[in-house]
Amino acid sequence: MNSCFTLVMKLVFLGTSGMVPTKERNVQSIYLEYNGDGILLDCGEGTQRQIQLAGLNAQKIKRVLISHWHGDHVSGLVGLIQTVGNFAGDHEKTLQLYGPIGTKEHLNHLMNSCIFESRVNIEVTELDLKKLEIFYENDDYELKAINLEHSVPTLGFRFERKEKRNIQLKKLKELGVSQGPHLKDLQQGKDINYEGKQIKADEVTVIDSSKAVSFIFDTQLCDACYELADNSELLVSEAVYKHDLVNKAEEYKHMTAHQAAKLASECGAKELILTHFSIRYKDVEELESEAKDLFENTKCAYDLMKLDLPF
């Protein structure tokens, strides 16, 4: 390992079915964790149970990203909010929720659809973005979104880890520099003085360019998809149908496995994971096979599938 500050992104596919759950597949939700921050992308029915089955801690979830307000993407929100609130302890938990235009009204209706005590402070931000834009950032990463083309207002999301410097431990060892808090200065590009020797950051670090994971759920293939997925390390895309049902996909403004692979190939993605499958496909291998004809590095997600990405 070259750097002592390597971080790993965790991705867990909590639900991979479209429209309704099956015995094997719950409806849409993905958990992303980076440097202790938990991010939930969509929250279909049963998501809180899937979180438990995956061995995840719901208290880590700080942000919820809602692609759109069809029921299979949001019907688990009340349960999630109850779970987070019930185990938040004495301090009120704050949950940042981002979604398309109409999110505040829809959430209000949802919260009033049953009687429960919410112990969660929900901060809602509505996004209406004609181009790919940052809606949240910290020192480590940016979250971006753009409007897609579905039957209702819909967003696609992109997680982008910022450019960073990696420490070259072998070079430090050759210079007699031990590990310690002084390495943080080097990682920030600052030269240091160590035991009377000047250590230049440019000589013992290398720039690690930004990396992105893009998420495209319900939409027809459009220009915004290409903007969103451009040069992604990983593209996670819906593949509701095989391409023999492309007319049906166009009618309901969804994508086929063939179209998702075409997108991955043309936008320079390194890997494609398909999700959000129609219940007509008991075996999604045929969707994977269709996509691989265009983009070899493709696989289909399954419920509770976990990925660790070196980011």
Q: Which amino acid is at 180?
A: G
DSSP state, residue 75: T
Query: Which domain does 183 fall in, by range?
Result: 165-205
- In this structure, the answer to whether residues 248 and 197 fall within a common structural domain is no
Q: Is residue 155 assigned to a domain? A: yes
Evaluate if residue 3 carries a pLDDT over 70: no
C-alpha–C-alpha distance, residues 204 and 125, integer Å: 42
Q: Is residue 294 part of a domain?
A: yes
Please tell me whether residues 197 and 247 are part of one structural domain. Answer: no
Q: 274 lies in a domain? A: yes
Q: Does any domain span residue 3?
A: no
Residue type, 203: E
* Residue appearing with tokens 């319900």: 218
Q: Are residues 257 and 158 in the same domain?
A: yes
- Please tell me whether residue 241 adopts helix, strand or coil conformation: strand
Under the banding of pLDDT at 50, 70 and 90, the label for residue 2 is very low
Q: How confident is the model at residue 17 (pLDDT cuts 50, 70, 90)?
A: very high
Q: Do residues 305 and 178 both lie within one domain?
A: no
Do 180 and 38 lie in one domain? The reply is: no
Q: Are residues 231 and 252 in the same domain?
A: yes
Residue 61 φ then ψ, to 5°: -70, 115
Q: Are residues 182 and 57 in the same domain?
A: no
- Residue range 211-249, pLDDT digits in tens: 999 999 999 999 999 999 999 999 999 999 999 999 999
Q: For residues 8 and 51, what is the distance between their CA atoms, to the nearest angstrom?
A: 19
DSSP, collapsed to helix, strand or coil, labels residue 305 as strand
pLDDT, greater one: 28 or 168: 28
Does residue 264 sit within a domain? Answer: yes
In a shared domain, residues 176 and 260: no
Do residues 151 and 171 both lie within one domain? no
Q: For the segment 51-93, what is each residue's pLDDT rounded down to a tens digit?
A: 999 999 999 999 999 999 999 999 999 999 998 888 766 677 8
Residues 6+ apart with CB under 8 A from 25: 15, 16, 17, 277, 302, 303
Q: Examine the domain organization and report whether 48 and 97 are in the same domain.
A: yes
Residue 4, pLDDT > 60, answer: no
Cα(159)–Cα(151) distance, integer angstroms = 24
159 vs 116, more confident: 159
Residue 23's nearest CA partner among 33, 31, 15 is 15
Average pLDDT value for residue range 190-201: 90
Task: Kindly state whether residue 120 falls inside one of the protein's structural domains.
Answer: yes
Which residue do the tokens 């590009």 mark? 189
pLDDT at position 105, please? 98
pLDDT over threshold 90, residue 181: no
Please say which residue of 184, 205, 226 terminates a domain.
205
Last residue of a domain, one of 205, 232, 259: 205
Query: How distant is the alpha carbon of residue 40 from its chain centre?
Result: 7
Summary mean pLDDT of the chain? 94
Task: Look at residue 271 and tell me if it is in a domain.
Answer: yes
pLDDT tens-digit readout, 126-142: 999 999 999 999 999 99
Last residue of some domain: 179, 205, 231? 205
Please state at what angle helix 77-86 crosses helix 103-111, rounded to 10 degrees.
70
Q: What is the pLDDT of residue 1?
A: 39
What CATH number corresponds to the domain at position 55? Answer: 3.60.15.10
> What domain count does the chain have?
2
Tell whether 159 and 173 lie within a shared domain. no
Identify whether residues 222 and 105 lie together within a single domain.
yes
For range 180-191, the mean pLDDT: 87
**CB count in 10 Å sphere of residue 231:** 14
72 counts as catalytic: yes
What is the Cα–Cα distance from 276 to 100, expressed in whole angstroms?
A: 19
Query: Considering 42, 72, 218, 303, which one is annotated as catalytic?
Result: 72
At 119, list the tokens: 């112990």
> Residue 88 has what pLDDT?
65
CA distances from 172 to 167, 195, 199, 208 (A): 8, 13, 9, 18
Contacts for 237 with CB less than 8 Å, ≥ 6 apart: 215, 216, 229, 255, 260, 263, 264, 272, 273, 274, 275
Report the alpha-carbon angle 16-19-21, nearest 5: 60
Is residue 1 one of the residues assigned to a domain? Answer: no
